[in-house]
Amino acid sequence: MELLQVADNVAREKNIDREIVIGAMEEAIQKAGRSKYGHDHDIRAHIDRRSGVIELKRYRQVMEDGALIENEVAQLTAAQAKKISATAKPGEFIIDDLPPLDFGRIAAQTAKQVIMQKVREAERSRQYGEFKDKVGEIVNGVIKRVEYGNATIDIQGRAEALLRRDETLPREHLKNGDRVRAIIYEVREEQRGPQIFLSRTHPEFMAKLFMQEVPEIYDGIITIKAVARDPGSRAKIAVVSRDSSIDPVGACVGMRGSRVQAVVGELQGEKIDIVPWTDDIGSFVVSALQPATVVKVVLDEDKKRMDVVVPDEQLSLAIGRRGQNVRLASILTGWDIDILTEAEESARRAEELKTRSALFIEALDVDDVIAHLLVAEGFATVEELADTSVDELNRIQGFEEEISNELVTRAQTFLAAKKKELEQKQKELGMKDDLVSIEGLSPAQLIKIGEAGIKTRDDLADLAADELVEMLGAGQITEKDANVVIMNARAHWFADEQAATTQTEEQPA
């Protein structure tokens, strides 16, 4: 019974199954038995789950007639088995009872090591199973030790977790014995056991803190749509309410700021801007850039970029210290944001008007009045004009059907001539048809890479994204789009590999 009491105590202390502990004890006794009687013996131990009595037995397998005996002490021929038991059959075991072991010092030490190893493995398995589904949850713990700024946290006596230095707040000094709250952001199963990683800088940590402080978030009435943090300094959080009678910002702030101050206190004074979320990205970015005043927002939905115009005196406020305000607003909205003053925006518009007007004057052979009207209506390229219907052009004040028809005809004629010129240039450069057919590059861009020595699809496929960006020039293509173009060029490689693999698999063995 003493053995069972030990098993119960270990199982309770380590929070693992009692059966695992008893199984480890049986394995330890088996190992000690083999040490005493010989490692080639098949010795098995069994502990009675009620009485604690240990049974130690030796097993010898009866082999088929003529079968090769590989282990003379653990296997018997049919003839040898018949001498011991007349009813012995091949495949069965002859079982002999062995006397109880008298554990010597070395045997006892070996048994203890086996038991502790099995218990540790079971404890690690239990910890991984318990915490792998808790990623994203806040846990409380006590700091056990701090080494080079990395803190080992005891999580309620159930596991140890690591809070790395780069996951703690700036100017936060952790000491042994301090209580700390953090979010589990990763759990990895490694050879030395499960590794639980905590963070106090993760955006989700702040979101979970608000969930604990604001009942409406916990109940699902208010939803946190986005979080952006500069840990220890400033953060922005976007919230929306499913109930029109509940103000999401007011609910998160709380009476006299009690709720938001509780979160600020946990984050060592990190300033938090609570922003109402909306589907209208223009209105959302105006709120996200507070406290700066926004005059105008110009969106480029294809590139997910926006130009935000602010009064001259509000420029530094909109950008923030070291670009913090605009950076956090960009993370919160998911758009790239360029901040312009009214003067800069006016100068940019004047330059665009001049450049685009010159383009239309040259391409369409029109006067500057018509060119200015086209630019004012939002036309940026001749291609856009060529794809526009005559009815749509007729809606422009001052345009009649005759003028509209003529403009569309001239635009199409210009593009046809340009295309022919580019095709001729491609032939002169020796560019292959498989390169010209690649999606994602304009004819002008194709000419540019052709002049840089790219003649075939494989030439383009061999490039890295940054090489293509540099080849086309700044502002002509983003690295993301360059990657897409290069992957389009490489598509036939993967198709050829797949075809070769399929053909190999179909060949008869």
Pairing of strands 159-163, 193-199: parallel
% of the chain residues with pLDDT over 70: 89
Span 430-509 CATH architecture: Orthogonal Bundle (1.10)
Domain ranges of the chain: 2-125, 135-199, 430-509
**CATH H superfamily, domain 135-199:** Nucleic acid-binding proteins (2.40.50.140)
Integer Cα distance of 180 and 186 in angstroms: 17
**234-241 β-sheet, strand order:** 222-230, 234-241, 271-276
User: Which helix or strand (DSSP H or E) is residue 23 part of?
Assistant: helix 18-37
Residue 394 makes CB contacts below 8 A (sequence gap 6+) with: 400, 401, 404
Q: Identify the residue with better confidence: 438 or 277.
A: 277
What's the confidence (pLDDT) of residue 103? 54
- Under DSSP, is residue 93 helix (H, G, I), strand (E, B) or coil? strand
pTM of the model: 0.60
Residue 166 or 38, more confident: 166
Of 416 and 123, the structure prediction assigns the larger pLDDT to 416
How many angstroms separate the CA atoms of 388 and 381, rounded?
Answer: 11
Residue 138 pairs in a beta bridge with 183
CB 16 within 8 A of CB 123: yes
pLDDT reading at 143 higher than 60? yes
Query: What are the tokens at 478?
Result: 């983003």
Give the H or E element holding residue 400.
none
pLDDT winner (highest mean) among 22-26, 169-173, 186-190 = 169-173
Q: CA 406 to CA 462: how far, in whole Å?
A: 45
Q: Judge whether 11 and 21 are in contact, CB under 8 Å.
A: yes
The β-bridge partners of 61 are: 75, 93
Backbone CA torsion sign across 429, 432, 437, 440:
negative
pLDDT at 224: 94
Least reliable range by pLDDT among 2-16, 132-146, 256-270, 460-474: 2-16
Distance CA(370)–CA(238), nearest Å, equals 45
Residues 6+ apart with CB under 8 A from 170: 231, 232, 233
Q: What would the mean pLDDT of 171-197 be, rounded to a whole number?
A: 83
Mean pLDDT of the residues in the chain: 83
Q: 85 by DSSP, 3-state: which?
A: coil
CA distance 83 to 25: 34
pLDDT at 148 over 80: yes
pLDDT at residue 203, as a whole number: 92
Instruction: Please give the C-alpha separations between residue 46 and each of 61, 97, 142, 262, in angstroms, as whole numbers.
Output: 19, 11, 41, 57
The domain defined by 2-125 folds into N Utilization Substance Protein A; Chain:P; domain 4 (3.30.1480)
Residue range 77-116, pLDDT digits in tens: 877 877 787 777 888 888 888 887 665 554 456 556 666 6
CA separation for the pair 305, 32 (Å, rounded): 71
Question: Closest Cα partner for 67 from 47, 54, 55, 81?
Answer: 81
On the CB side of 460, CA atoms within 13 Å amount to 34
DSSP 8-state symbol, 335: S
Rounded Cα gap, residues 346 and 340, in angstroms: 9
pLDDT at residue number 107 = 47
**Taking 90 as the threshold, does the pLDDT of residue 223 lie above it?**
yes
pLDDT over 90 percentage in the chain: 19
Burial (CB count <10 Å: 0-12, 13-18, 19+), residue 311:
middle
Is residue 84 helix, strand or coil?
helix
Tell me the C-alpha distance between 427 and 439, whole Å.
19
Confidence of residue 41 (pLDDT cuts 50, 70, 90): confident
Strand ranges of the sheet holding 305-310, from the earlier edge strand across to the other edge = 296-300, 305-310, 336-341
Average pLDDT over residues 188-195: 71
Give Rg (Cα) of the chain: 38
Beta-bridged to residue 93, according to DSSP, are: 61
